[in-house]
Amino acid sequence: MVVLGFDPGLATLGYGVVEKIGSSVKLLEYGAVTTPPTMRFADRLLSIHAQSQELIRRVKPDAIALEELFFNTNITTGIAVAQARGALLVAIGEYTDQIYEFTPLQIKQTLTGYGRADKQQMQRMVKTILAMDKIPRPDDAADGLAVAICLANTSRASVEQFRI
């Protein structure tokens, strides 16, 4: 099963692609969809949609997962990221209905066994699980891989509760 994971963002939308084979997870690719801040906002959303759509069509995932948005203190940034996530969801929805969403706590719990793991712990676990030589960069790509690993390692019996 090929799984594509996304860490939504406006400037940098991280992604990771893994393949679940038996009980192991194999790295296929990772990277980021980017939009420059000098671009008009509407054009940034169009670019996110187009780049995501191209990625999805190229890797042909069996399922796609996203990290649920977490609003901390800056609501303005949160709204922009939510709009970018909407553009991403349209691209995903045009391809499949196998769409899943996990909270940051659920992703951390799945990868490290501890829901309050810090960013460095998460990055080291992604590196270890995927037998990588170094921690993937940018950070957003490591987060996208973590989302993909989370879905790949979620049991078939419980995965439907995360479907959106």
List the single range of 74-83, 89-98, 110-119, 142-151 with lowest mean pLDDT. Answer: 74-83
67 tagged catalytic: yes
Per-residue pLDDT at 71: 67
Cβ-Cβ contacts under 8 Å for 42 (sequence gap 6 or more): none
19 tagged catalytic: no
Render 41-88 in DSSP notation, one character per residue.
HHHHHHHHHHHHHHHHHHH--SEEEEEPP---S-HHHHHHHHHHHHHH
Q: Which of 54, 67, 68, 133 is catalytic?
A: 67
29 tagged catalytic: no
Q: Which of 7, 29, 43, 118 is catalytic?
A: 7
Torsion of CA 112, 21, 18, 25, to 10 degrees: 30
Q: Which of 43, 97, 140, 160 is catalytic?
A: 140
The pTM of this model reads: 0.95
Q: Domains of the chain, with CATH numbers? A: 2-162 (3.30.420.10)
